[in-house]
Amino acid sequence: MRPVTPLITVDAIIRLPDERIVLVERRFPPPGWALPGGFVDPGESLASAVRREALEETGLEIEILELFHVYSVPWRDPRGDTVSAVYHCRASGTPRGGDDAAAALAFAPDALPAPLAFDHGRILRQFFDWLRTGVRPSPAE
């Protein structure tokens, strides 16, 4: 029997000019607020996928600043194993929910909604720590 390979996903940490973070309220299970993102389509680059997912879910055209980190802990998605490339991005405008996002809103870093889906609370804590200290998450995680 062939082992099942984890699916590849992308997530966007989108910062607006006022430093608020864009999150989407998931339309489908698992419930909660999440970073905009989703599965990479066959033949699609990670950068193209994160731009597409951000536009579909928030209506925002993003500027990718950098790859923040890659997350691959098997328990991170209750639907099955995924590996996610998380990008640090900028955008301007007003987010609006679309595709599989019931809503898209911007939140101050100290006023994030609950619950956060998947491991996105952990990702955001690590992102804010990195902004404050310059120390990235360990690549051994």
In a domain? residue 139: no
With CA atoms as reference, report the closest residue to 130 among 15, 1, 6.
Answer: 15
Check residue 93 and give left, alpha or beta (phi > 0: left; psi -120 to 50: alpha): left
As given in the structure block, the two tokens for residue 124 are 């955001």
In a domain? residue 100: yes
**The pLDDT of residue 3 is above 70:** no
In a domain? residue 63: yes
DSSP designation for 123: H
End-to-end CA distance of the chain: 28
For the stretch 34-86, pLDDT in tens is 999 999 999 999 999 999 999 999 999 999 999 999 999 888 888 889 999 99
Mean pLDDT score of the chain: 94
Helix (H, G, I), strand (E, B) or coil at 53: helix
Q: 1 - beta bridge partners?
A: none
How far apart are alpha carbons 138 and 94 in whole angstroms?
Answer: 33
How far apart are alpha carbons 47 and 108 in whole angstroms?
Answer: 25
Split into its structural domains, the chain has a count of: 1
In a domain? residue 141: no
Domain that holds residue 111: 7-133
